[in-house]
Amino acid sequence: MPLQKVPIDFWFAVGSTYAYLTVSRLPSVQAATGVPFRWRPFDVRAIMIEMENIPFSTKPAKEAYMWRDIERRAANHGLPFEGIPPYPLKGYARANRVATVAAREGWIADFAQAAYRKWFLERLDPGDDKTIAVVLGKLGQHAERVLAAADSDEVRAALARETDTARSLGIFGSPTFVVGKEIFWGDDRLEDALRWHGGHSSLQEGSIKRKP
């Protein structure tokens, strides 16, 4: 397979704050570079708990920095930021099970972008039943079918397997990009992942922006 056709694995969890930046701009990045990405939702929260990594519950200064950093980076990429959204997500687990269904069925990018718009721009929990139903309806998906699949033992097991795979690769955060055996953690490492992938050394931080 030609190098430019080998996908970069994009590991993320709906509920990861910095993933908003990547989810919002990744389709434009793919269109601009020709590099395909494989979207792989996983349960980053489970891995973080295992590592005793509870990011912000007792770290108000770090949390304040995070939100300001996301706001700055959103402006840099031409992305909207409407203020601090609800955090952490109460519907985290279900949102990621729906994402797992979407990944299996091939509409994960559309779902992830719609879910993050609801969360970051409308300040709604994308794991809430009503919010999920609205998102799925706009995507042409039958909410009852998707939610039943998301709550099934099969999808729960599929998400757990993907989380096990992420764990085995040494992934500990979201978003993470994997190129071969190389791991690049954080939205700010997307361009590094592309450069490692090959053929995109001219890309600079902030040079790819979402289409209006």
160, part of any domain:
yes
159, part of any domain:
yes
Joined tokens for residue 132: 């999920």
| Residue 173 φ then ψ, to 5° | -155, 170
Structural domain of 26: 3-197
Nearest by Cα to 24 from 98, 86, 93, 76: 76
- Provide mean pLDDT across the span 8-34: 97
Measured CA to CA in angstroms, residue 81 lies from 16, 63, 123 at distances of 15, 16, 11
Domain of residue 14, CATH code: 3.40.30.10
90, part of any domain:
yes
Which pLDDT does position 198 carry in this prediction? 85
Q: Are 127 and 121 within 8 A, CB to CB?
A: no
Give the predicted TM-score (pTM) of the model: 0.90
202, part of any domain:
no
203, part of any domain:
no
Which pLDDT does position 57 carry in this prediction? 64
Residue-wise pLDDT tens digits, 80-100: 999 999 999 999 999 999 999
53, part of any domain:
yes
Mean pLDDT of the chain: 91
Which pLDDT does position 137 carry in this prediction? 97
Distance between alpha carbon 205 and the CA centroid of its chain, in Å? Answer: 19
Q: Distance (Å, rounded) from C-alpha 115 to C-alpha 183?
A: 25
Helix ranges (H only) for the chain are 19-33, 44-50, 60-76, 92-105, 108-116, 129-138, 143-150, 153-169, 190-197
More confident residue, 53 or 82: 82
- Provide mean pLDDT across the span 171-191: 96
Which pLDDT does position 199 carry in this prediction? 52
Whether the per-residue pLDDT at 176 is higher than 80: the answer is yes
Those residues whose C-beta lies under 8 Å from the C-beta of residue 144, and which sit 6 or more positions away, are: none
Strand partners, 184: 177
Whether the per-residue pLDDT at 206 is higher than 50: the answer is no
State how many domains the chain has: 1
212, part of any domain:
no
Q: Distance (Å, rounded) from C-alpha 186 to C-alpha 35?
A: 18
- Provide mean pLDDT across the span 33-55: 92
More confident residue, 205 or 17: 17
Whether the per-residue pLDDT at 204 is higher than 70: the answer is no
